[in-house]
Amino acid sequence: MANDRPGLLQASSADWDKAWDVINRLGTARKHLEHDTGATREPLVQVASEHEPVPVRTIELPPLQRSLSVWILIGALWISIGMIVSAAIVTVAYLA
pLDDT digits (tens, 9 = 90+) for 43-86: 555 555 566 666 777 777 777 777 888 889 999 999 999 999 99
Over pLDDT 70: what percentage of the chain? 70
Burial 12-48 (b: 16+ CB within 10 A, else e): eeeeeeeeeeeeeeeeeeeeeeeeeeeeeeeeeeeee
- Is-contact 54 48, C-beta < 8 A? yes
DSSP state letter for 17: H
pLDDT at position 6 is 57
Q: Which amino acid is at 76?
A: A
Computed over every residue of the chain, the mean pLDDT equals: 78
